Structure 1
C-alpha cells in the first residue's frame, strides 16, 4: 500500500461575486478531483488549533500528524532546518521577507506595504540584494541566510521571541503601525530600505514594471524545533516534495527525504508535472511508503488577491499534477490511498490566512463502488457531514486499513 497527500496551499476560499457566488475551488475545472470524489470520503477538518494563528507552519504540521500545540516553536526555525542552519539553544530565528513598500519621499514609518513577495522575486536576484544588506547590517549578533525567492532568514544570537506581524496580513497598510517593538530590529528594517531602494537590481526591476524588493521585513520568530521522527511515529518511510523552505524544514526535522524538483519554484508556473513524476518515482522506484506533495501557488495567488490566477493554480494542480500522479499509480497496479486538501483557507477577500475548517478528500484505489459526492469543494465537504476536530488526526485516517 502506498500513501499520498497532495496539498494545495491556501486552496480553500469564500464565495466570490465575480465567480457567480462560487469559490475558486467550486468554479475551477477539476475533472480529476471530481472523478476521485465519486469514490471518496469528503469532509471538513480543523487544522488550526484554537488560540493559534492560522499559518502554513501550524497547518502543515497538523496535516503531517504533529499537534502544533506540542511541536510548534515558530515558523522561522523550521525554515532554518531547510537552509541548513544549525541553531543553538539560545538562538532566535526570524523570517526575513524581501518586500515592496511605497517608494516616495515620506518617512519609512509612513510608507505602505504593497507586495509581500516583491513580484515573486527570483532567488538569484534576492541573494544579491540580501548580500548588500548583510554587508551593512550583519554583526556578531545578527546573521542573514539566503532562502528561496523572497523568503530568507535572520538568526539573532541570544535573542528573544518577540511579537512580529506577517507582511501578508497587513498589505495596503502603513509600515509604522506594524514595526517591531525591538529597537534594533526596527532600525534594521528602516536601514534596509536605505540600502535596497537605490540598488541597481531594484532600479532595473522598476524599469521592467516589477515591484522592487526595497525593504526587509522580520516576522515568525521562534526557537530551535524538536520534531519526532515521522517514520518512528507512523511506521512509514516518508518523503517531501515542496519548493518552500518551511515544508523542507519540517521534513528535515521529521527525518523525511526532501526531493528537489527542477523548475519547482513555489509560484503559479511551477513544475507540476515534475512534482507528479518525482512523487511516483519515490513511491514506485525507491520503495517509499508515503509522499507529501506540496504546491504553494494557490496560497500565493490568494495573497495577491488574484481570482483568475487562483482558479488557474487549482486547475493546474488538478490537471497537471494530480491527473499525472493518479495515472502513474493506477498503471503500477499498486494499491494506494490519496488525500487531497489545503492546509488553511487564503480567501481572496482578505488576502491572508483564516482558521476556518478546510475540505479534504480521501480516496482509496481498492474501492470501486460509487456513493461519493461527485465533486470536491467546500460546499460538498460541508454537506458530507464529517468533521475532524483535530487536524493532526487526518494522517491516521490516511493510514487506516479498511
Structure 2
C-alpha cells in the first residue's frame, strides 16, 4: 500500500461575494479532486487544538500524526532542523522575517505592509542576511539565511518566556501594539530597530524600489522555540517516507520525524512554484521504495496573506491539475493499492489575511475500496454535510494509514 498526503496550505476560506458567494475551493475547477471525492471519504477535521495558535507549525504537526500538546516546542526549531543547524538543549531559536514596514521615523508608528517583502528572492535575501550577520550577529546570537523571507536566529542559552507576534497576523496595522514582550525583550526590539538603519538603503533594496518592488527594510523576530523531540514516524506506522516542501518549517518537521526531505528545483513556496516537479518527485520516491510521501504546497496560504483572490483560486486549480492528477496517474501506473489524502492545514481567509482555527475539509481516496457518492464534491460545505468529523487532528493520520481514529 502506498500513501500520499497532498496538503494545500491555507486552502480553506470563507464564501466571497466576488466568487458568487462561494469559497475558492467551491469556485475552483478541480475535476480530479472532485472525482476522488465522489469515490472516497470526505469530512472535517480540527487540525489546530483549542487554545493553541493557528499556525502552520501546530497544524502540520497535527496532520502528520503528532499531538501538538505533547510534541510542540515552537516553530523555529523545525526550521533549524531543515537548515542543518545543530541545536543544544539550552538554545532558543527564532524565526526572522525580512518584512516591509512603512517609512515613519519612529519604529513603533510604522505599519506592517508586507510580511514577505514582496516575496523577496532567496538570492537577494541571502545578501541582506549577510548584512544582518555583520551588524547584529554575536557569539550569543547567531543568524542563518533560509528561503525567501524566512530566516533564523539562534540565541545561545536564551530566555524562553516570550510574547511575539507573527508578522502575517498584523498586515496593515501599526506595529506599536505588537512589539516584543518577555524576558530581555529589549534585546530583540533593539535588533529589529537597528536592522532598519542598514537595510533601508542597502543596494539590494535600492534596486528593488527602482524595479517597483517593496524593500525588505526591517527584520521581524518571532516564532521562538526549543529543540524538538518527535517520535519516529516509522516506529509508529512501520512505513518509510519522505516530505516534499519548499519551506523549512515543513521540511524540518519531516526530518525531525525521521522522514527524508526531498528538494525540488524551482520549488518556491508561492504561486510560481514547481507544482509538477513536486508531484513527479513524489512518484519517484514511491517507485524507489518509499511507501509514504507528504507533499506540502504553500501557494494558497501566501495568496491568502497577500489577499490575491485570483491567484488563490488559480493555486488550487494548479494543485488539482499539476499535482493531484500527476500523482494519481503515477500511482495507477505503479499498479499497487494506494490511498491519497487531500486537505489544508488551516484556513487562510482572504478577508482576514491570516490563519484561523476553523476545522478544515479532508478527502481520503483508496484505489481498491471505492465508494459511490456521485453527488459528493470536495469543499468546506460538502465536507460538513457528510457528518464525518475528527475533533483531534492528530488522529487523522491514524485514520488514513491504519483505518482507525483511536489512540
Q: Which category of TM-score, normalised to the shorter sequence, fits these structures? A: over 0.9
2:27 alignment partner in structure 1 = 27
Deviation at 1:372, TM superposition (A): 5.3
| Residue segments in structure 1 that go unaligned for 5+ positions in a row | none
1:134-145 alignment, distance < 5 Å: 134-145=133-144
1:123 alignment partner in structure 2 = 122
- Say which of 272, 283, 286 aligns to 1:283: 286
* Alpha carbons 1:73, 1:225 under 8 Å: kept: yes
1:114 alignment partner in structure 2 = 113
1:353 alignment partner in structure 2 = 355
- Residue 202, structure 1, aligned to residue 205, structure 2: yes
Deviation at 1:252, TM superposition (A): 1.2
Secondary structure at the aligned position of 2:224 is classed as: strand
Provide the rounded CA distance (Å) in 1 between the counterparts of 2:192 and 2:125.
16
Secondary structure at the aligned position of 2:95 is classed as: strand
1:171 alignment partner in structure 2 = 171
2:365 alignment partner in structure 1 = 363
Provide the rounded CA distance (Å) in 1 between the counterparts of 2:332 and 2:255.
30
Secondary structure at the aligned position of 1:74 is classed as: coil
2:248 alignment partner in structure 1 = 245
Provide the rounded CA distance (Å) in 2 between the counterparts of 1:292 and 1:255.
13
2:389 alignment partner in structure 1 = 387
- Residue 377, structure 1, aligned to residue 376, structure 2: no
1:1-400 alignment, distance < 5 Å: 1-104=1-104, 106-161=105-160, 162-181=162-181, 182-284=185-287, 286-371=288-373, 373-400=375-402
* Alpha carbons 1:40, 1:372 under 8 Å: kept: no
* Alpha carbons 2:40, 2:371 under 8 Å: kept: no
* Alpha carbons 2:40, 2:370 under 8 Å: kept: no
Secondary structure at the aligned position of 1:66 is classed as: coil
**Could you give the per-residue CA deviations for residues 203-253 of structure 1, whole angstroms, max 9, x where no partner exists?**
100111111111000011011111011101111111100001001111111
* Alpha carbons 1:59, 1:343 under 8 Å: kept: yes
**Could you give the per-residue CA deviations for residues 91-148 of structure 1, whole angstroms, max 9, x where no partner exists?**
11000000000124x2111111000001111111000001111101111211000111
Provide the rounded CA distance (Å) in 2 between the counterparts of 1:239 and 1:368.
26
Deviation at 1:172, TM superposition (A): 0.7
- Name the count of aligned residue pairs: 400
Secondary structure at the aligned position of 2:188 is classed as: helix
Provide the rounded CA distance (Å) in 2 between the counterparts of 1:121 and 1:384.
42
Provide the rounded CA distance (Å) in 1 between the counterparts of 2:157 and 2:232.
28
Q: Which runs of 4+ in 1 moved over 6 A?
A: none
Deviation at 1:374, TM superposition (A): 3.0
Secondary structure at the aligned position of 1:125 is classed as: helix
Deviation at 1:373, TM superposition (A): 4.4
**Could you give the per-residue CA deviations for residues 56-108 of structure 1, whole angstroms, max 9, x where no partner exists?**
0000000000000000000001111111111111111000000000124x211
Secondary structure at the aligned position of 2:13 is classed as: coil
Q: Cα RMSD between the aligned structures?
A: 1.1
Secondary structure at the aligned position of 2:163 is classed as: coil
Q: TM-score, normalised by structure 2?
A: 0.97
Provide the rounded CA distance (Å) in 1 between the counterparts of 2:281 and 2:395.
26
* Alpha carbons 2:24, 2:312 under 8 Å: kept: yes
* Alpha carbons 1:163, 1:221 under 8 Å: kept: no
Provide the rounded CA distance (Å) in 2 between the counterparts of 1:59 and 1:21.
27
Provide the rounded CA distance (Å) in 1 between the counterparts of 2:169 and 2:13.
16
* Alpha carbons 1:147, 1:153 under 8 Å: kept: yes
Deviation at 1:160, TM superposition (A): 1.4
Provide the rounded CA distance (Å) in 1 between the counterparts of 2:92 and 2:375.
46
